[in-house]
Amino acid sequence: MFDEEKVLKALVKGMRDGVIELPLDVHEKIKEAHAKETNETAKNQLEAILTNIQLAHDGQAPMCQDTGVQIFFIKAGYDFPYLKELVKLVPKAIAKATTDVPLRPNTVNPFDGTNPKNNLGFNMPAMTIDMVEGDGATVYVFPKGGGSENMSKLWMLTPAQGFKVMKQKIIEQVQFAGGKPCPPIVVGIGIGGGADIAMKLAKKALLRPLDEPNPKPEIAEMEKELLDMINSLGVGAMGMGGDTTSLAVQIEYTNRHPATFPVGMVIQCWCDRRQSIKINKDGMVV
Amino acid sequence: MAEYRLTTPVDEETISKLKVNDVVYLSGTVFTARDEAHMELMEDGGVEGFDMTGLGLYHAGPVMKKEGDEWQVVSAGPTTSYRMETLEPKFLDMFPVKLIIGKGGMGPLTLAALKKNNVVYVSFTGGAGALAAKGLGKVKTVYYLDKLGMPEAVWVFEAKEFGPLVVSMDSHGDSLYDVVNAKTKQQMEKIFKETLGV
C-alpha cells in the first residue's frame, strides 16, 4: 500500500533539507577552493559561504533566501505500481513545504504578475519523469535559483563549428556572467538531441555529484579541460576576482541530427542544492 | 585593504575614506528595497517619519516569518543589484543613504551617482542568506508589506556587524567589477588564441 502520509513527509523533508543542507560533495569542493585560494577578497567570500553553510545547518534556516523554483526529476521503474499516487502528491508536498520550511513564494504568473504564494501555478509543478528498469522510484528535488538560471544559454551550432566553437561559447558566457550567477558555479552542459533536449540534459547534468566525472573517459577529459579554462579566467568567488570560478563542469549527451549541433548550458550557483528520495514497490520510503 | 566597523548614520568623511577592496561591518539601521520599493519610495517622496540619512540601503528580498506579533528574518542574502541600475541615480539624488549593499555590482549610471552623492556600493556574499539574517538582527518596522508582498517590501532592520561587506564601487569612481571584467576579458582572448586556436 502506498503510504501517502510517510511519502508526503519524505517529500517535504527533501525540500526542507534541499534548501538548508548543502550536499557533502559540494561542501567539500567549496572547502578545497577556500583552502587553495590566493586572492584575499575571494578567500573572504568563500569563508563567508562556509560560515553561512554552517549557520544554516545549526539554525535549520535556508542557506539562500532564493529558495528557488521546486523542480522535480522522477526516475520511475517500469514496474513501480504507484506512479500516479506519487505524481499527484508532489504539488501537495510543495504547498506544505512552502509554509512549513518556509520557502519563499517564487511562482509569478507572467501575464498578470500575481503570485499564488504556494510555489505552484498553471502547468506546475515542473516534473520530468523518466522510465527505467526496476520496480521502485527515485525522486530528485532540485530547487533552482533565479540569478543563476538567468545565465542559461542554448546554441544551435553547425556540425562544422562543433566542439571548438562550443568551448568558445561556454567560456564567453562564463566571462559575461561574471558574479551574477553567484560563483563558484557548477556548469551543466547538454549536447545533442535538439533544442529542448540539449537544455534538459544540461539541467539533468547538474544532478550528478561533483566528484563523479562522466563515466566516458573522453567526456570526463573534456569536462576537466573546460573546468581548467574557466578557472583560468579569474572571475573568482562572487565575481570579484580569484582562482576558483567553477567547482565542476558536468557534460551529458545524446545523439544529434546530422544537420544540427545543439548545445545547452545551465549554470548553478555555489548553493548547488539537490536531494533524493527513494520509494520501493510497496509504496514505502526506503 | 582596510577593515572598518561602522555604525549608522555614517558620515560623509567616513564614506570618502573607503576604497575598493576595503571590508566593512555595518551596525545600525539597514533597510531593504528592490525594484518595486525603489519606485514606490520615489513616487511617494519617502515614508513619513523614516529618515534615511546615513543609512544602508540593501538590495534584498528576504524570507520572513511572523512569530506572534513579531516579524523575524529567516534568510536574507542580496539580490542582483544590476536591476536597480536605472533607478539608483534618482534615488540617491532624493534620499541621503550612504551605503548601498547588494551583489554583482552596478553600472556606469550608479558609479557616477555614487561619486556625485558621496555614497559607496558594498557587496555582500550572494546566497549567504543565513549569515545575512544573523547580521541584520531585529526587525524595526516594515513599509509597503500589504501592497508589495514579502520579498518586495521595505524591511527596516537594526543590524549588528552585518558583513563582511566588500567595498566594490567607491565614491571616487573606482569599480572592482570593472577591473575584474577587463582582466577576465583579456584572459579570455588569451585562451581563445593560445588554447583553442580561434
Q: CB contact, 8 Å: A236 with chain B?
A: yes
With respect to residue A254, please indicate whether it lies within any of the assigned structural domains: yes
Long-range residue pairs from A21-24, CB within 8 A, at least 24 positions apart, any chain? A21/A56, A21/A57, A22/A53, A22/A63, A22/A271, A22/A272, A22/A273, A23/A209, A23/A272, A23/A273, A23/A274, A23/A275
Q: Would you say residue A107 has pLDDT above 90? A: yes
What is the Cβ-side half-sphere exposure of residue A120, based on CA atoms within 13 angstroms? 13
Identify the pLDDT of residue B151: 87
Length of chain A as a residue count: 286
Whether A137 is covered by a domain: the verdict is yes
Q: Are residues A242 and A184 in the same domain?
A: yes
Per the structure, the count of domains in chain A is: 2
Taking residues B119-127, report their average pLDDT. 97
Residues A128 and A225 in one domain: no
- Four-point Cα dihedral A168, A173, A179, A182, nearest 10: -100
3-class state of residue B36 by DSSP: helix
Shared-domain flag, residues A207 and A80: no
Q: Do B74 and A62 touch (CB under 8 A)?
A: yes
Interface test with B, best of A26, A224, A240 (most B CBs within 10 A): A240
Residue B198 has pLDDT above 90, yes or no: no
Tell me, yes or no, whether A30 lies in a domain: no
Residue A151's pLDDT is what? 96
As a whole number of angstroms, the distance between CA A11 and CA A276 comes to 9
Cross-chain Cβ contact A234/B150 below 8 Å: no
Percent of chain A at pLDDT above 90? 98
Residue with cell 566542439: A163
What are the structural domain ranges in chain B?
A: 3-196
- Cell 508526503: give the residue: A8
Instruction: Judge whether residue A12 has pLDDT over 90.
Output: yes
Q: State whether A98 and A130 are in the same domain.
A: yes
| Residues A154 and A137 occupy one common structural domain | no
Give the fold, CATH level 3, of B3-196.
Answer: fumarase (3.20.130)
Q: How far is CA B141 from the centre of its chain?
A: 19
The amino acid occupying position B183 is: K
pLDDT at residue B123, as a whole number: 98
CA distance B81 to B59: 6
> With left for phi above 0 and alpha for psi between -120 and 50, is residue B18 left, alpha or beta?
beta
Residue A32 counted as domain residue: no
| d(C-alpha A106, C-alpha A101), whole Å | 14
With a CB cutoff of 8 Å and minimum separation 6, the contacts of A116 are A105, A107, A109
| The pairing of beta strand A185-191 with beta strand A275-279 | unpaired
Percent of the residues in chain B that have a pLDDT greater than 90, as a whole number: 97
Q: Are B142 and B155 in contact (CB under 8 A)?
A: yes
At A241-270, the pLDDT tens digits run: 999 999 999 999 999 999 999 999 999 999
User: Looking at the structure, do residues A129 and A86 belong to the same domain, yes or no?
Assistant: yes
Strand partners, B78: B60
> Which pLDDT tens digit goes with each residue over B14-24?
999 999 999 99
> Whole-angstrom Cα distance, residue B127 to residue A181?
10
Q: Distance between CA atoms of B183 and A120, rounded to whole angstroms?
A: 42
Residues B77, A64 contacting (CB under 8 angstroms): yes
Domain membership flag for residue A38: no
Interchain contact B39–A (C-beta under 8 A): no
CA atoms within 13 A on the CB side of A38: 3
pLDDT, residue B154, reads 98
**Strand pairing partners for B139?**
B157
Dihedral, CA of residue B32, residue B35, residue B37 and residue B43, to nearest 10: 140
CA distance A213 to A251: 9
Chain A residues with beta carbon closer than 8 angstroms to that of B134? 55
Mean pLDDT of A37-46: 97
Residue among A60, A238, A267 with most chain B CBs within 10 A, to mutate: A238
pLDDT at A113 over 90: no
Q: Within this chain, do residues A170 and A102 fall inside the same structural domain, yes or no?
A: no
* Grid cell at residue A234: 579569474
* Structural domain span for residue A234: 147-268
Write the DSSP assignment of A152-210 as a string of letters: -EEEEE-TTTHHHHHHHHHHHHHHHHTTTT-SSEEEEEEESS-HHHHHHHHHHHTTS-T
Check: CB of residue B16 under 8 Å from CB of residue B4: no
Predicted pLDDT at B158:
98
Please report which confidence band the pLDDT of residue B149 belongs to, taking 50, 70 and 90 as the band edges.
confident
Does A237 reside within a domain? yes
Of the candidates A238, A232, A249, the residue with the CA atom closest to the CA atom of residue A186: A249
Predicted complex ipTM exceeds 0.85: yes
**Chain A contact for B182, CB < 8 A?**
no
Give me the percent of chain A exceeding a pLDDT of 70: 100
Residue A244 lies in a domain: yes
Task: Find the largest Cα–Cα distance for chain A.
Answer: 57
Whether A151 and A139 share a structural domain: no
Set of chain B residues whose Cβ sits within 8 Å of the Cβ of A270: 127
Question: Are β-strands A185-191 and A261-268 bridged in parallel, bridged antiparallel, or unpaired?
Answer: antiparallel
Instruction: Supply the Cα-derived Rg of chain B in whole angstroms.
Output: 17
Average pLDDT value for residue range A162-166: 97
Q: Are residues A83 and A13 in the same domain?
A: yes
* CB contact B94 to A (< 8 Å): no
Q: Which three cell numbers stand for residue A2?
A: 502506498
Residues A75 and A136 placed together within one structural domain of the fold: yes
Largest CA distance in chain B: 64
- Cell, residue B89: 541615480
Which of A55, A164, A233 is opposite residue B134, by nearest beta carbon? A55
In contact, B117 and B169? CB cutoff 8 Å? no
Q: A121-160 pLDDT, tens per residue?
A: 999 999 999 999 999 999 999 999 999 999 999 999 999 9
Q: Are residues A120 and A133 in the same domain?
A: yes
- With an 8 Å Cβ cutoff, are B188 and A175 in contact? yes
Residue of B nearest to A20 (CA): B130
Q: How confident is the model at residue B195 (pLDDT cuts 50, 70, 90)?
A: very high
Question: CB contact, 8 Å: A157 with chain B?
Answer: no
Which residues of B are the active-site residues? 38
Best B74, B75, B178 residue to mutate vs chain A (most A CBs within 10 Å)? B75
CA distance A132 to A79: 9
The CA distance from B46 to B35, in Å, is 15
> CB distance from B133 to chain A under 8 Å?
yes
Cα(A47)–Cα(A284) distance, rounded to whole angstroms?
A: 40
Q: Are A220 and A246 part of one and the same domain?
A: yes
